[in-house]
Amino acid sequence: MNVNEVAKALKELGHPTRLLIYKSIVKAGYQGVAVGNIQEQLGVPGSTLSHHISSLASAGLLSQRREGRTLFCVAQYQCLVEVVNFLQDECCIDEVQCRE
């Protein structure tokens, strides 16, 4: 993941509603969570929610899986792992490196 990809992921996570959406998806685990379920949880209009979800997807933070009429959002954990690794490696948040 290069600096542009990391920035893109951080940017998409950097919105209160999207961060809550992402949190909800991550908490749901590998089976994912239905869009409608997120909508109930957060009380966001469908069209707005849909845009936020596709923003997160465009950064590679989640993928979608259809089951009948419902679409499930599934976290792409590896993406967040790579973002955090970037922050730790490139922007050392390691105690040893930074605090001595």
Partner DNA sequence: TATATATTTCGATAAACATAGAAACAACTT
Partner DNA sequence: AAGTTGTTTCTATGTTTATCGAAATATATA
Residues forming the site for DNA (CB under 7 A): 11, 15, 17, 34-37, 39, 44-55, 64, 66, 68-72
Closest CA relative to residue 14, chosen from 50, 46, 61, 48: 61
SS3 38: helix
CB of residue 88 to a copy of itself, shortest distance in Å: 7
Binding mask 20-49 for a copy of itself (x = CB under 8 A): x-xx--xx-x--------------------
Restricting to residues 48-87, name those near a copy of itself by CB under 8 A: 75, 77, 80-81, 84, 87
Beta carbons of 35 and 28 less than 8 angstroms apart: no
Count the Cβ atoms, other than its own, within 10 Å of residue 95: 8
